[in-house]
Structure 1
Amino acid sequence: MNYNNQSNITSNHIKSDGDRIRCDQKEQTINAYAELVKKNIDFDVLLHTYSREQDLVEEIYQLILETVQTEKDMIRIAGEYYPAGFVKGKLLKLNYSHIEYVLECMDKNTTKVRNIKQYLLAALFNAPSTIGSYYKAAVNHDMPQYAN
């Protein structure tokens, strides 16, 4: 038997103190973002209000959380790359109304969505920029007497 063959050596998965500290810090960051996002979007109220859409509300929450925690420098949204800090900033400013708007847009969408994760991320990213125009167009359509 050849005891010099080192191809069967497996790595030791013991973490150093530095690795443990980094893991603890990462977990604290995740928990802080989780609480901040839940607070910003009124997560519990969304779950109650949209009881039939709880899975979608949870998916939206998880997508926001996943995106704001990325360590990438750039994030792709709707075919364009944006600095991660810019994307994180927009997503961390989302509130209940923005999520409600995205849920409404999802409900009204009748076209096939090929990549639901990218579609939702684009909708969330664009929500603060498009929500006002969306509701103004709806009012203009439904109540033309109030259109300017």
Structure 2
Amino acid sequence: KKSKTDISRTHQSIYPAEPEAAGRPDRMDRIELTDAYREIIKENIEYDCMVSRYGKERLDETMELMLEVVLSKRPYIRIAGDDFPREVVKGRFLKINSGHLEYVFDCIDKNTTKVGNIKAYLLAALYNAPATMDSYYRAEVNHDLYGC
């Protein structure tokens, strides 16, 4: 009969051999989650309608950046130099629609200054779009109607 010391594991690795052992979802679950969020974002931004206007490459690039943020595991995400809780940023990115995207693309197209970090610039523009779009267009209309 074996005692408990005969079956002890004194040389057991501290690193789990498989991801499931560490409490992480398996690879298939991660792929399914990625695909699900990709479809949600595509639907929110009306991808099929927008692709003819802005092109597949531009839309895919923006959508993948949004997807990267939504799937991030970091507790905080840096936007324009400030750290925001992941869930706040994720929620805002999942509310972005085609109008917000048109606004962001319009602002980028009008920008004439050099952008040092395009990824950070896009993240900030996308994050701020739902909060600033209406004021931007109101200011544009006021300028057109009453400006010199």
Q: Would the TM-score normalized by the shorter structure come out above 0.5? A: yes
Give the % identical residues: 46
Distance 1:30 1:81 in 2: 24
Deviations 1:3-55 (A, max 9, x none): xxxxxxxxxxxx7593796111111110110000000001121111223xx42
Q: Which segments of 5 or more consecutive residues in structure 1 lack a partner in the other structure? A: 1-14
Quote the residue 1:63 is aligned against. Answer: 65
Quote the residue 1:5 is aligned against. Answer: none
> Over aligned residues, Cα RMSD in angstroms?
1.9
TM-score (norm 1): 0.81
Quote the residue 1:46 is aligned against. Answer: 50
Q: Which segments of 5 or more consecutive residues in structure 2 lack a partner in the other structure? A: 1-16
Distance 2:136 2:34 in 1: 33
Quote the residue 1:109 is aligned against. Answer: 111
TM-score (norm 2): 0.81
Number of positions where the alignment pairs a residue of Structure 1 with one of Structure 2? 129
Picking from 120, 139, 142, the partner of 1:137 is 139
| 1:1-148 matched pairs, under 5 angstroms | 16=18, 18=20, 22-51=26-55, 54-144=56-146
Q: Which has the greater radius of gyration?
A: 2
Distance 1:100 1:39 in 2: 15
